[in-house]
Structure 1
Amino acid sequence: MSKFGEIIDVNMPVLLDFFTEWNEESTAMHPVLRDVAAALGNKAKVIKIDVDKNKELAEALRVKGLPTFIIYKNGEMKWRHSGPQDADTLIEILQEYI
């Protein structure tokens, strides 16, 4: 968990994507997230977290539906959504925190 703290405690927005490889909606988001990361460059981070490999973290954050997106900035949760999102919406939301 201390590594998680280091990841989210930065002065830029960090979009976390909680997913699993067996969930079709999760895997369908991979190219969308690549587009988001490319559009924002070094202004934001996009980090994918496999729920199957990080069960403790997913439980601690009460991740139920997949995919679940959470934006952190300076260690504080700013936004959260479960279910698919399009790239433009994610980019727009992230830009609010840049």
Structure 2
Amino acid sequence: MSSLQSVTDDTFDEVVLKSDLPVLVDFWADWCGPCKMLAPVLEQLAAEQEGKLTIVKLNADENQEIARRYDVMGLPTLNLYKNGEVVKQLVGAKPKRLIEKEIAEYL
């Protein structure tokens, strides 16, 4: 089980869009193998970037409103939000170093 905070359709705006820190949202589903492979990478990244970045998970099957709002078509999808706006989107399981490189300019 993940120690990352989960967000829902109901909590998304408050937790993600109103955050003072950049927020990386992991759109995932129980049936998604690559999502499960990505989970430990995100856990490690969250620990290393504590205080600079928040990482949360959103189950796209259970929270379809938010997934539709941001046109999430494939899983896993990582959206990076800063000041309430999507500034970066990564689709598919990526290695940690690539995720770090892609989000570095926003931290």
TM-score (norm 1): 0.89
Among 60, 63, 78, the alignment partner of 1:51 is 60
Does 1:5 find its partner at 2:13? yes
Structure 2, gaps ≥5 residues long: 1-8
How many residue pairs were aligned?
Answer: 98
- TM superposition shift of 1:96: 1.3
Matches within 5 A, 1:78-97: 78-97=87-106
> Identity, % of aligned pairs?
33
Name the one with the larger helix percent.
1
What is residue 33 of structure 2 aligned with on the other side?
A: 24
TM-score (norm 2): 0.82
1:9-61 deviation per Cα after TM superposition (whole angstroms, max 9, x unaligned):
22321000000011101111110100110110121000011111101111121
C-alpha distance in structure 2 between counterparts of 1:63 and 1:81, whole Å: 10
Does 1:15 find its partner at 2:15? no
The code of the aligned residue for 1:29 comes to L
C-alpha distance in structure 1 between counterparts of 2:44 and 2:101, whole Å: 13
Quick check: 2:27–2:59 contact (8 Å CA) kept in 1? yes
